[in-house]
Amino acid sequence: MSHQHIFEGGFCTVCGQTQKNCLVAENSTSCCDTCQHDEHSHEAQGEIVKLFMPAIVSLLLLLLGLCFDQLMQPDWFKGVIRFIWYLLAYWPVGLPVIRDAVKNIAKGNVFSEFFLMGIATVGAFVLGEYPEGVAVMLFYTIGENFQSLAVRKAKANIKSLLDQRPDEATLLVGNTPKVIKAREVEIDDVILLKPGEKLALDGELLSDTASFNTAALTGESKPDTKTQGEVVLAGMINLETVAQVKVTAAYEDSKLSKILDLVQHATTQKAPTELFISKFAKIYTPIVVFLAIGIVALPALIVADYSFDEWLYRGLVFLVISCPCALVISIPLGYFGGIGAASRHGILVKGSHFLDVLADTKQVVMDKTGTLTEGVFEVQDVQLQEGVEEAVLLKLVDALESNSSHPAATAIHRYTGNSGLQITMEQVEEIAGHGLKGMVDGQELLVGNFKLLDRFGIRYDMDPSSIVHTTIAISLNGAYQGYITIADKIREQAQEAVKRIQDLGVNTTMLSGDKRTVVSDVARQLGIEDAYGDLLPDDKVQKLSEIKERYGQVAFVGDGVNDAPVVALSDVGLAMGGLGSDATIETADVVIQDDNPVKIPMAIRIGRKTKQLVWQNITLAFGVKVVVLVLGAGGLANMWEAVFADVGVALLAILNAVRIQRMDF
């Protein structure tokens, strides 16, 4: 038996085992103990055969009946026997539809697609058009089956995420490994992760180093090397060495669990197009039923040689043509496919509505730090007033900055190192957009931008605008002490991301609280048209309002937490690094899991392609139906043309909708 397994980084992408462990004997039925790929394949094939079996039986009986009708036409195949034969052909595909129609009527939903198909095919039998009645229901059932397969494929991306949560974990009890259910592992327990195994829970790496495949979380197969103390997440696959992990979250609270919940709920958030079609179908269906009745009854008043059978046939054809299957099926499927395609690339979209907004976006507004830059600052220079002792002052600054989560605080701490000094801090206050103020060892210390010093009337003898890098000004007891410069590194993919956004015909703007000289320098390097620095949170909101008035639909890209007011004002908020923050997942409308800015234009392309496919289906369905409806009402289209207008168009729309899952973005 041949096993089509692919190995990346030394592990099997199907079962997660190392290549050595995944090798099989010639007579083996599976590649390793944990991989049942072939068995699952057979099960899936069995389900497909079971799904299509009623249609296969019906088709065989229909074809045999047509052969007897057209070729042999024996006397014994007429009358009651012919009726019974075609009734048997109708039964496997017609009974489930009739049953669903009755159930819907019992619930008060009379005018459903099942009702249309039921009365149309029963009417065909009443008229003696047995083959056409069977054909209509047969092809309708085949269309429904293809819909089921398409939905199953669209869900495959989400299910593949579910598969990344192992049910078991190896718990270390002392030095003894014990395999238990992952749900039974508690916070602070230590678990053992062998090469090729998937991590079941979020935790902190206790081993010195370990490399992981994070494709399930980020869509990227490039190995990610973690060091001791770093966060590792459920779904990551250990590649090389045995690793120990200290659990930091329960199984159901893992980052992957929250991501899965987000994506699954996203499919219930409907886009305006979906909502319109749902409402339209509820109005449209009863209208066409009454029009069909009119086609049958009204000609009796105006046509001299009126034939009830002829006009009943036209009415039945009209009903079959008018069934809104193509719209009701393919449009939600198109959006579902778009969400699935995005999640496969590590982009989490919280609802199909946001795919529409991304498609119509005219302007992308981006934060600088952590979005276009790595958010990892390094101290570049320390310039202090004459007589100021650098080591002592920097320890005080570091102590005050320890109250801030800003990347600059981390950079200063790395620069100063651990002092070991006992420093007393009191009355610490963070002034939004300015910096920190506090009493450190009884002395008033100000650390922030030069606006902070201006605010407190601190005089200084230099021009801040002459400094290119981000500047941290320092004042002690009302006297200017000097400044520290720090710099951030532009992300490797940022320039490519900006170019791709602009190639889509979308304008780019950068808003930042960082100093204007830094923002302008980064914008120049990346080719961003408009850039604004020295912005307080309120300034960002005002600037974004101006941009919306000018361009219309606006997407904002930031960290999803610090820029919450701007995210709320934008039409769609994209957050970078969803794996790093629960708050990011909660705040943003779209989460880019791996911090890669190239995913921004990718999200826009997915939104545009999804909307394009949806409108292609709407145009196709309405165009064909209107033409055939007119022909059917005029007696120029028979039941076979009606089948194409209904089921054929539905199948074409479904096939068109699922294309997005195979596209490269």
Residue 18: predicted pLDDT:
36
pLDDT-derived band at 387 (thresholds 50, 70, 90) equals confident
Helix (H) or strand (E) holding 238: strand 237-238
Tell me how far apart the alpha carbons of residues 142 and 612 are, in angstroms, rounded to a whole number.
26
More confident residue, 599 or 225: 599
Q: Is the pLDDT of residue 281 over 80?
A: no
Of 31-35, 308-312, 481-485, 518-522, the range with the lowest mean pLDDT is 31-35
Tell me how far apart the alpha carbons of residues 314 and 291 are, in angstroms, rounded to a whole number.
11
In terms of residues, how long is the chain? Answer: 665
Of 35-44, 223-232, 302-311, the range with the lowest mean pLDDT is 35-44
Tell me how far apart the alpha carbons of residues 469 and 546 are, in angstroms, rounded to a whole number.
28
Q: How far is CA 475 from CA 388, 397, 414, 439, in A?
A: 11, 10, 21, 12
The residue behind tokens 């914008």 is: 523
Average per-residue pLDDT in the chain? 78
pLDDT-derived band at 359 (thresholds 50, 70, 90) equals very high
Q: How far is CA 218 from CA 214, 322, 557, 626, in A?
A: 6, 44, 18, 45
Structure tokens given for 103:
């159930």
Q: Is the pLDDT of residue 400 over 70?
A: yes
Candidates 620, 619, 615, 612; CA nearest to 649 is: 620
Residue 156: predicted pLDDT:
59
The number of beta carbons lying within 10 Å of the beta carbon of residue 103 is: 12
pLDDT-derived band at 428 (thresholds 50, 70, 90) equals confident
Q: Is the pLDDT of residue 4 over 60?
A: no
168 bridge partner residues: 181
More confident residue, 76 or 319: 319
Q: Is the pLDDT of residue 131 over 60?
A: yes
Residue 56: predicted pLDDT:
92
Tell me how far apart the alpha carbons of residues 43 and 392 are, in angstroms, rounded to a whole number.
71
Residue 39: predicted pLDDT:
44
Q: Is the pLDDT of residue 392 over 80?
A: yes
**DSSP annotation of 373:** B
Candidates 560, 552, 408; CA nearest to 488 is: 408
Three-state SS for 430?
A: strand
Tell me how far apart the alpha carbons of residues 602 and 572 are, in angstroms, rounded to a whole number.
15
Count the alpha carbons within 13 Å of 487 in the hemisphere toward its beta carbon: 13
Of 39-48, 396-405, 452-461, 607-616, the range with the lowest mean pLDDT is 39-48
**According to DSSP H, which parts of 33-181 are helical?**
37-67, 80-106, 113-126, 130-162
Of 256-260, 283-287, 303-307, the range with the lowest mean pLDDT is 256-260
Residue-wise pLDDT tens digits, 155-184: 655 555 455 667 888 888 887 888 888 888
Of 373-387, 402-416, 462-476, 634-648, the range with the lowest mean pLDDT is 634-648
Taking the mean position of all CA atoms in its chain, how far away is CA 581?
17
DSSP per residue over 303-363, as a string?
-TT--HHHHHHHHHHHHHHH--HHHHHHHHHHHHHHHHHHHHTTEEES-HHHHHHHHH--E
The residue behind tokens 């293809």 is: 146
Residue 30: predicted pLDDT:
33
Ramachandran area for residue 549 (φ above 0: left; ψ -120 to 50: alpha; else beta):
alpha
Evaluate whether 318 touches 291 at the Cβ level (below 8 Å). yes
- Arithmetic mean of pLDDT, 253-278: 63
pLDDT-derived band at 104 (thresholds 50, 70, 90) equals confident
Tell me how far apart the alpha carbons of residues 239 and 82 are, in angstroms, rounded to a whole number.
66
Q: Is the pLDDT of residue 27 over 50?
A: no
pLDDT-derived band at 3 (thresholds 50, 70, 90) equals very low
Residue 495: predicted pLDDT:
93
Tell me how far apart the alpha carbons of residues 436 and 402 are, in angstroms, rounded to a whole number.
10
Q: Is the pLDDT of residue 76 over 90?
A: no
- Arithmetic mean of pLDDT, 26-49: 48
448 bridge partner residues: 435, 473
Burial 218-254 (b: 16+ CB within 10 A, else e): bbbeebbebeeeeebbbbbbbbbeebbbbbbbebeeb
The catalytic residue positions are 367
- Arithmetic mean of pLDDT, 389-416: 81
Candidates 316, 290, 297, 305; CA nearest to 129 is: 316
**DSSP annotation of 615:** H
- What's the one-letter identity of residue 187? I
Residue 391: predicted pLDDT:
85
Residue-wise pLDDT tens digits, 376-386: 778 888 888 88
The residue behind tokens 């069934």 is: 323
**DSSP annotation of 174:** T
Structure tokens given for 184:
């039974």
Q: Which of 414-418, 508-512, 624-628 has the highest mean pLDDT?
A: 508-512
Q: Which of 35-39, 88-92, 368-372 has the highest mean pLDDT?
A: 88-92
Evaluate whether 240 touches 195 at the Cβ level (below 8 Å). yes
Read off the pTM: 0.67
Residue 34: predicted pLDDT:
36
Q: Is the pLDDT of residue 522 over 50?
A: yes
φ and ψ at 368, to 5 degrees?
A: -90, -65
Cβ partners under 8 Å of residue 96, min gap 6 = 54, 141
Residue 399: predicted pLDDT:
83
Q: Is the pLDDT of residue 423 over 80?
A: no
Q: Which of 30-34, 438-442, 595-599 has the highest mean pLDDT?
A: 595-599
Sign, CA dihedral 651-654-656-662, equals negative
Tell me how far apart the alpha carbons of residues 317 and 124 are, in angstroms, rounded to a whole number.
9
Q: Is the pLDDT of residue 446 over 60?
A: yes
Q: Maximum distance among all alpha carbons in the chain?
A: 119
- Arithmetic mean of pLDDT, 330-344: 80
Residue-wise pLDDT tens digits, 195-246: 888 888 888 999 888 888 776 666 565 678 888 888 888 888 888 788 899 9
- Arithmetic mean of pLDDT, 126-131: 82
Cβ partners under 8 Å of residue 19, min gap 6 = 7, 10, 11, 12
Taking the mean position of all CA atoms in its chain, how far away is CA 662?
15
pLDDT-derived band at 360 (thresholds 50, 70, 90) equals very high
